[in-house]
Chains A and B, each alone.
Chain A
């Protein structure tokens, strides 16, 4: 076994266990047809739900430290002002360096670290290779035995086998062999859906859940580029990847969208549009004072800033501020 195969082996095992487990559940508890494509697609959806649910604690932690960033906002602003308008590489580097040092010093690092990615990528590869093996009717490394593997490989959704990709059908078409239009239609639909969900997620963040400080940062510009780069990536992978893998990705994207929606609605970034909207919503219901201590901290500065300042005459103002001598 090669190196990558060895690393992926335990992950493939877990992916197979989850797939087979959900498949068994849908087969026995809901008496669905075990060979049907829908049963296998739902098993993939179940797999995504488990993986993403396991990542929730990391996500919550990230949100928490983003909240704590409010405390260091003035210092962050100072750094950004220092490098304002300096676009050369060295200034950018020095700015990132100082920002990171600030995060470390104050324990407010808002970034999620590379671990979630590092975990998800092999799961994706593992699913890819599980599906690829199933295409050739091969048994998996563990719970997915030969019988189930064959069944998975030949499962069809609306007459489109899950192991097929847009590219494989395109190849058959150009060779003049019989091909499946359904596979192409499903793949194209999924690319559109993935792009749409990604756009909605990103637009929600950018338009509603960003503080003015973040909008002024170079990080923001990078995220904008991402917004237009991703549809290309989706289109490319939508053509090359088997339908089963695409279902995993699509479900994962939809999860991200829903998660982002909930976060923006219930724990918005302080100072952002969404935070103002939430305050208004709560005020209308007469529930502005939250039970959560965290939230009060967030909203207090807002409340004082909304209060109207009583105009004061020149002489009185002098009196209020006290003698200056």
Chain B
């Protein structure tokens, strides 16, 4: 029961993950490498949504996009990591509850 509630809670962010994966598969290759940062803006957005959920993740992604302009220095810029991680990420990128362990 609890698992079901958590999955429901994670649904919005997984939908966004699906959307971002689609973008990265279809639209990103069209432009090649343009981003002045590592990870690129779309990879950052994906990581931010996985780590922080839709609201905070989207805000982080928006902030990053605003920083990605021709006058920016660029460089390595990772998603801030949460101190306590509750979920795991599948190979595709979906956020799930760990199937074993203390939970």
Interface residue ranges, A against B (CB under 8 Å): 58, 61-62, 96-97, 99-101, 103-104, 107, 109, 111-118, 219, 222-223, 225-226, 229-230, 233
Contacts and interface: CB of A to CB of B under 8 A. Distances in A.
Interface in B54-70: 65, 68-70
Contact of A101 (B31, B32, B75): B75
B99 to A, nearest CB: 23
Contacts of A61: 70
Contact of A104 (B33, B35, B73): B73
B5 interface: no
A229 B30 contact: yes
B29 A113 contact: no
Interface in B12-42: 29-38, 41
Interface of B: 29-38, 41, 65, 68-70, 72-76
B47 to A, nearest CB: 12
B74 A100 contact: yes
A113 B32 contact: no
B76 A62 contact: no
Nearest to A60: B70
Interface of chain B, main secondary structure: loop
A323 B8 CA distance: 80
A117 B75 CA distance: 19
Interface of chain A, main secondary structure: helix
Contact of B74 (A103, A118, A229, A230): A103
A234 to B, nearest CB: 10
A101 B35 CA distance: 13
A104 B75 contact: yes
B73 A107 contact: yes
A96 B38 CA distance: 7
Contact of B65 (A103, A118, A222): A118
Given A104-B74, A104-B76, A114-B35, A226 B30 contact: yes
Contacts of A99: 38
Contacts of A219: 32-33
B32 A222 contact: yes
Top 3 closest A-B pairs, CB basis? Answer: A104-B75, A100-B38, A114-B68
B24 to A, nearest CB: 12
A96 B39 CA distance: 8
